[in-house]
Amino acid sequence: MSSALILSNVSRSFGETHAVDNVSISIEPGQFIGVIGRSGAGKSTLLRLLNRLVDPTAGSISFGDTNITALKGKALRHWRRDCAMIFQQFNLVDRLDVLTNVLIGRLAEHGVLSSMTMQFSDEERAMAIRALDRLDLVPQALQRAGTLSGGQQQRVAIAKALVQRPKIMLADEPIASLDPANATLVMDGLKRINREDGITVLVNLHTLDTARAYSDRIIAMRQGRVYFDGTPAQLTDDVVRDIYGLDGLQEFNAAVTSTSVHASVPA
Amino acid sequence: MTFTVAPMPPLTVDAAAPSRLTQFELDFATKRRQARRNWAIGTLVLVSLFAFSAWIGDFFKITQVTMPDGAREWRWIIPAGLPRLGEYVSQTLPTLRWDSFWSDFGAWFWRWKTWLKLLWETVLIAFMATTFGVVGGFLLSFPAARNLSPNKWVLWLTRRLLEITRTVPDIVWALIFVFCFSVGPMAGVLAIGTHACGALGKLYSEVNENIDMRPLEGVKAAGGTWFDQIRYGAVPQVLPNIISYTLLRFEINVRSSSIIGYVGAGGLGQEFRTAMSFQEYTDLSALFLIILATVIVIDYGSEKLRHKMIGMEDRP
């Protein structure tokens, strides 16, 4: 049923900059993958390439028998539904209520008429409320999304991704603008979805210890290329120093960038 | 949990600092001098352009006027012409005497039944025209917005379409539609509606160009179409501004529809023509008062409504 997501020699350049440079990786279903690297290393572009918000300049992406890079129109929209995306700035519609924001995750299934009139079925509303319940947000369901805190908004975004019934969930620095407590809630939510629903999760992260604590596999990018691909245990301090180019710093400690509230992080 | 802090560089003033500050002072002075010079040049250019336009526009013309003693003399046009304004206005004023006030007042507004009927027609023309303009302008404003348009051809086409409808004044559209559909309020509705569509479409599209694009990306990433992105991502953001501009346009359209009858397109305007051709100058002041009162009432009402809506916006 579920198949591997395979990137073969994928590149994307913006003018002279090679944001993603000849990347080949294979992602098995059900994995929790942390993507790390300096700002501008190509992490965001990599995620955007996967759900085709950005098109590659070279190479191809495939999922099972489907060539993702060739998808168009309805097939492309269905791929985006299957490959849900969560953003650093949440990208919710502030002036719509939380429930409608979650129901946006159902739009790929709708025709023009029901979508333009914002008509959703009872089943879809039930699905949305169940998704909100998993993230403890039912009391806020009828509030405007803009009135929620950052952490709550990010969980709304996760609920929206859930009702897409995706096979893969991409999260582009989902905790970068959150405080430690909310960051933990969001990461725990992603981990639970990964474990309970078997959804593949790819998360871009700035904080090393978060990546270590939550990921089964860590991919590190440097200047658009995959510099490291392995388990958290294989990610030694020497490798980290190379990834972040910390040659100047004598001592390096992940706790400096930590967003964790616990001394020991939950698995 | 243990952690170490990387040593910070000591906060000392190095020897190069004084010269860096001097350099800043120099740069700052240069920048200030440049700004002052640019301002002076700009002012000079503006003033000369204004004076030149005024000269072309006959503002400095010297004309011959007849003095009270019958002599002809050369005078500057503005003080020479101003008294005539009072002359015209006084012609349109009615004679109102204290002891026969009500009969005089009745004589001034002698056609009030016709005028009220036409006033009602005027407001209805404005209402229908605003509705047409809003629907057309709203639909066209999305393809006409640089950040939302699906491609540059659609952008170019809708923008030109809006320009054509907007550039032709509504009185000219009225002439055309009266020719097509004969005299009557329908021609007025179409004329003002067409012009309002262009004007509103332009305003709405500028609102659209200032929105936050992230919600649209959120809809796109969930598998939404272009229409979904507009409906869910853009429309909720622009709605308050759209309502505000629409009410403002209704006020403008009431003014337009009160004059459009001059060319036969319905409403009060036709009475201006009648009054002028029959030299019933006091009718003009009566009509002017009716329109003024209507516009004041509508301005006040729509302002209240707008503020109420903005107030509703602030509440969560």
Q: What is the mean pLDDT of residues A159-171?
A: 92
Q: Residue A21's closest CA among A74, A76, A59, A51?
A: A59
Q: Do A90 and B218 touch (CB under 8 A)?
A: yes
Tokens of B225: 């179409």
Q: Where are the domains of chain A?
A: 5-257
User: Domain A5-257: which CATH class?
Assistant: alpha beta
Nearest chain A residue to B239 by CA distance is: A95
Burial of B33 (0-12, 13-18, 19+ CB in 10 A): exposed
Q: What percent of chain B has pLDDT over 90?
A: 49
The pLDDT-based confidence of A202 (bands split at 50, 70, 90) is very high
CB within 8 Å: A112 and B225: yes
User: How does DSSP classify residue B9?
Assistant: P
Say how many residues make up chain B: 316
Token pair recorded at residue B33: 């001098």
B6 to each of A168, A235, B161, how far by Cα in Å? 39, 22, 63
Q: Give A-chain residues touching B243 at CB under 8 angstroms.
A: none
Q: What is the mean pLDDT of chain A?
A: 86
Q: Which amino acid does the sequence have at B182?
A: S
Measured from the Cβ of residue B108, the count of other Cβ atoms closer than 10 Å reads 18
Rounded to a whole number of angstroms, the CA Rg of chain A reads 19
Q: In which band, very low, low, confident or very high, does the pLDDT at B157 lie, cut at 50, 70 and 90?
A: very high
Strand partners, A219: A35, A229
Chain A CA closest to residue B4: A253
pLDDT in tens, B107-133: 888 888 888 899 999 999 999 999 999
CB contact at 8 A, A202 and A48: no
Q: What CA–CA distances, in Å, run from A30 to A3, A66, A84?
A: 10, 19, 14
Residue A110 has pLDDT above 60, yes or no: yes
Beta bridge partners, B76, equal B62
Contact criterion met (CB < 8 Å) for B220 and A80: yes
How close is the nearest chain B Cα to the Cα of A69, in Å?
A: 15
Using CB atoms, which residue from B6, B215, B220 is nearest to A92?
B215
Q: What is the mean pLDDT of residues B189-210?
A: 94
Query: Which chain B residues touch A if contact means CB-CB below 8 Å?
Result: 1-6, 214-215, 217-225, 227-228, 231-233, 236-237, 239, 316
Interface contact A81, partner B, CB < 8 A: yes
Is residue B237 within 8 Å of B212, Cβ to Cβ? yes
* Greater pLDDT, B131 or B94: B131
Residue A257 has pLDDT above 70, yes or no: no
Upper half-sphere CA count for residue B248 (Cβ side, 13 Å): 11
Residue B194: per-residue pLDDT: 95
Nearest chain B residue (CA) to A93: B215
Shortest distance between the Cα of B209 and any Cα of chain A, in A, equals: 16
Selecting from A92, A108, A115 the residue whose C-beta is nearest the C-beta of B227 gives A115
The length of chain A in residues reads 267
Residues of chain A positioned with their CB less than 8 A from the CB of B217: 53, 87, 91
d(CA A33, CA A217): 5
CA distance A189 to B91: 81
How many CB atoms neighbour CB B129 within 10 A?
29
ipTM: 0.87
Residue B316 banded pLDDT, cuts 50, 70, 90: very low
- pLDDT category, B265, cuts 50, 70, 90? confident
Stretch B223-229: mean pLDDT:
92
Can you give the pLDDT at residue B83?
83
A75 Cβ contact partners less than 8 Å away, ≥ 6 residues apart: none
Q: Please give the residue that has the higher pLDDT: either B257 or A251.
A: B257
Angle at B65 between CA B64 and CA B69, to 5 degrees: 130
Residue A251 contacts B where some CB pair is shorter than 8 Å: yes
Q: Which domains, ranges and CATH numbers included, belong to chain B?
A: 41-86 (no CATH), 111-314 (1.10.3720.10)
A255/B3 touch (CB, cutoff 8 Å), yes or no: yes
By the CB < 8 Å criterion, does A85 face chain B?
A: yes
How far, in Å, CA of A172 to CA of A15, rounded? 23
Residue A43's H or E segment, with its range, is helix A43-50
> Residue A161 — very low, low, confident or very high, per pLDDT cuts 50/70/90?
very high
Instruction: Give the residue from B256, B255, B257 showing the smallest Cα distance to B293.
Output: B255
Report yes or no: A99 and A125 within 8 Å, Cβ to Cβ: yes
d(CA A171, CA B184): 62
Q: Which residues of B fall within a CB distance of 8 Å from A164? A: 222-223
| Integer CA distances (angstroms), B298 to A179, B122, B295, B304, in order | 50, 13, 5, 10
Cα–Cα distance for residue pair A40/B102, rounded to 1 Å: 82
Give strand pairing partners of A204.
Answer: A35
DSSP letter, residue B45: H
How much is the pLDDT for B274? 86
Q: Which residue of B has its CA nearest to A248?
A: B6
pLDDT at A263: 43
Mean per-residue pLDDT for B195-207? Answer: 95
Say yes or no for a CB contact (<8 Å) between B4 and A112: no
List Cβ neighbours of B306 (8 Å cut-off, separation of 6 or more).
Answer: B243, B244, B247, B248
- Longest CA span, chain A: 62
Cβ contact (<8 Å) for A92 and B218? yes
Residues A72-106: tens digit of each pLDDT:
888 899 999 999 999 988 999 999 999 999 999 99
| Interface size between A and B, measured as CB pairs under 8 A | 99
Contact A129, A162 (CB under 8 A): no
pLDDT at A251: 56
pLDDT at A1: 46
Across residues B156-160, what is the average pLDDT? 95
Q: Which residue did the predictor score with more confidence, B202 or A178?
A: B202
DSSP 3-state assignment of B278? coil
**Mean residue pLDDT across chain B:** 87
Residue to substitute from B2, B225, B243, B312, interface A, most A β-carbons within 10 A = B225
Over residues B249-274, the mean pLDDT reads 87
| Angle formed by the axes of helices A150-163 and A180-197, nearest 10° | 10
Nearest by CB: A160 against B5, B222, B237: B222
A79 by Cβ neighbours in 10 Å (0-12 / 13-18 / 19+) ranks as buried
Q: How confident is the model at residue B314 (pLDDT cuts 50, 70, 90)?
A: low
Rounded to 10 degrees, the C-alpha dihedral B17/B20/B22/B24 comes to -140
Residue B119: phi and psi, rounded to 5, are: -65, -45
Predicted pLDDT of residue A252: 57
A41: helix, strand or coil: coil
Cβ-defined contact of B228 to A249 (cutoff 8 Å): no
Residue bearing the bigger pLDDT, A241 or A217: A217
Residue B43 token pair: 């002012």
Rounded to a whole number, what is the distance in Å from the CA of B1 to chain A's nearest CA?
Answer: 6
Query: String of b and e for A96-134 (b: at least 16 CB within 10 Å)?
Result: bbbbbbbbbbbbbbbeeeebeeeebeeebbebbbebbeb
The verdict on A234 touching B (C-beta cutoff 8 Å) is no
Kindly list the residues from chain B whose CB atom is less than 8 angstroms away from the CB atom of residue A157: 218
Q: Tell me if A81 and B228 make a contact (CB, 8 A cut-off).
A: no
pTM of the model: 0.81
